[in-house]
Amino acid sequence: MTGAANTNLTHLQRLEAESIHIMREVVAEAEKPVMLYSVGKDSAVMLHLARKAFYPSPPPFPLLHVDTTWKFKAMYELRDRMARESGMELLVYHNPEAAERGINPFDHGGLHTDMWKTEGLKQALDKYGFDAAFGGARRDEEKSRAKERIFSFRSANHRWDPKNQRPELWNLYNARKAKGESIRVFPISNWTELDIWQYIHLENIPIVPLYFAAKRPVVQRDGLTIMVDDERFRLRPGEVPEMKSVRFRTLGCYPLTGAVESEATTLPQVIQEMLLTTTSERQGRAIDHDQAASMEKKKQEGYF
């Protein structure tokens, strides 16, 4: 992508230029920006773009991981490595109340996501006083996200009001806000799942190995294939982990993230499977299964 300039810009070159433009606008206009880093493939692309946007300077903001303590081990490993390599400060936040009450995905269902992620994110933003936070959400992921602005305003208590969003014309972003208000900025809004994979492939961006198929211990539960990633996993009576060749299309808390059976061990094979598959990406996440408008509700409450 960075070789000799090509007068016929490809869609990936256009998307890259747009994302870089957005990040630079935020850095120029916000007082204290931060990049939310979830260690998934979208975060990987976002971080890569940030390094390009500000080169030869390191990206002039820290990475923030709002952790639930229930991510896959491999995610923690990559997270720490990428922070080292990018020269950026890594902030890891745990909601102290969730830790104290021992909130976990086995006993607390939706509360787990709500307290660790939604509440944890709000607390972290307040604690550090960040007024702009980059997130890796894409418009193609889900219906309510198709209408999300690139600069999304949140009230002082982090709520999103779908009826009161600023119009975004051309590539002019209005980043002005009152004290206490903040912006969530989505620089890869216009990328699709295929674009993300293709870009990772072309640019050799490091991603968590869980995206590739390997023999892993899994159990079948509530229609999802769940990986037994550590000893905290509570097996139900009769459940015995089996070794299966699986991979993940999306990564979150390991007890809530469904794997797919797969033999794809290279990026082209993963992309091939994705293109020939017949279910959408977020189906592997337990969080979206409630009702049609669930994501929209979660967003109004402050979930990314």
Partner 1 sequence: MSVSTTKESSYQTDALIAADIDAYLVQHQHKSLLRFITCGSVDDGKSTLIGRLLYDSKMIFEDQLAALEADSKRAGTQGQNIDFALLVDGLAAEREQGITIDVAYRFFATEKRKFIVADTPGHEQYTRNMVTGASTADLAVILIDARKGVLTQTRRHSYLAHLIGIKNIVLAVNKMDLIGYDQAKYDAIVADYTKFAQSIGIKEFTPMPISGFMGDNITTKSENTPWYDGVPLIAHLEAVELDVTADQAKPFRMPVQWVNRPNLDFRGFSGLIASGAVRPGDAVRVLPSGKTSTITRIVTIGGDLDQAVAGQSVTLCFADEVDCSRGDVISIADAPPEVADQFEAVIVWMADEALIPGRPYWLKLGTQTVTATVQAPKYQVNVNTMEHMAAKTLELNAIGVTNLATDRPIPFEPYEANRTLGGFILIDKITNATVAAGMLHFALRRSQNVHWQALDISRETHASLKNQKPAVLWFTGLSGAGKSTIANLVEKKLVRMNRHTFLLDGDNVRHGLNKDLGFTEADRIENIRRVGEVAKLMTDAGLIVITAFISPFRAERQMVREMMAGGEFIEIHIDTPLAEAEARDVKGLYKKARSGALKNFTGIDSPYEPPQTPEIRIDTTKLTPEQAVDIIIERLIP
Q: With contacts defined by CB under 8 A, how many residues of the chain interact with partner 1?
A: 73
Considering only residues 86-105, where is the footprint of partner 1 by CB under 8 A? none
Burial track 162-184 (b if 16+ CB lie within 10 A, e otherwise): eeeeeeeeeeebebebeeeebbb
Q: Considering the complex, what minimum distance in angstroms separates the CB of residue 244 from partner 1?
A: 22
For residue 137, give every residue at least 6 positions away whose Cβ sits within 8 Å of its Cβ, in sequence order, or none: 42, 145, 148, 186, 188, 189, 304
Q: How far apart are CA 106 and CA 97, in angstroms?
A: 17
Which region among 48-56, 68-76, 127-135, 253-261 touches partner 1 (by CB under 8 A)?
48-56
Which region among 14-22, 67-75, 108-116, 223-231 touches partner 1 (by CB under 8 A)?
14-22
Identified binder of partner 1 from the candidate list 120, 208, 296, 303, rule CB under 8 A: 296
Q: Considering the complex, what minimum distance in angstroms separates the CB of residue 63 from partner 1?
A: 18
Judged by CB under 8 A, does residue 131 bind partner 1? no
Considering only residues 258-277, where is the footprint of partner 1 by CB under 8 A? 268-269, 271-272, 275-277
Check if the beta carbon of residue 132 is closer than 8 Å to that of residue 22. no
Half-sphere exposure of 150 (CA within 13 A, CB side): 21
Q: Considering the complex, what minimum distance in angstroms separates the CB of residue 204 from partner 1?
A: 11
Considering only residues 55-74, where is the footprint of partner 1 by CB under 8 A? 55-58
Judged by CB under 8 A, does residue 176 bind partner 1? yes
Check if the beta carbon of residue 251 is closer than 8 Å to that of residue 39. yes
Q: Considering the complex, what minimum distance in angstroms separates the CB of residue 231 from partner 1?
A: 33
Identified binder of partner 1 from the candidate list 202, 214, 235, 243, rule CB under 8 A: 202
Residue 119's Cα: distance from chain center in Å?
A: 16
Q: Considering the complex, what minimum distance in angstroms separates the CB of residue 77 from partner 1?
A: 24
Judged by CB under 8 A, does residue 257 bind partner 1? no
Q: Considering the complex, what minimum distance in angstroms separates the CB of residue 51 from partner 1?
A: 6
Residue 16 vs 229, nearer CB to partner 1: 16
Which sign, positive or negative, has the C-alpha torsion 169, 55, 65, 90?
A: negative
- Give me the helix-helix angle, 193-203 and 11-29, nearest 10°: 90
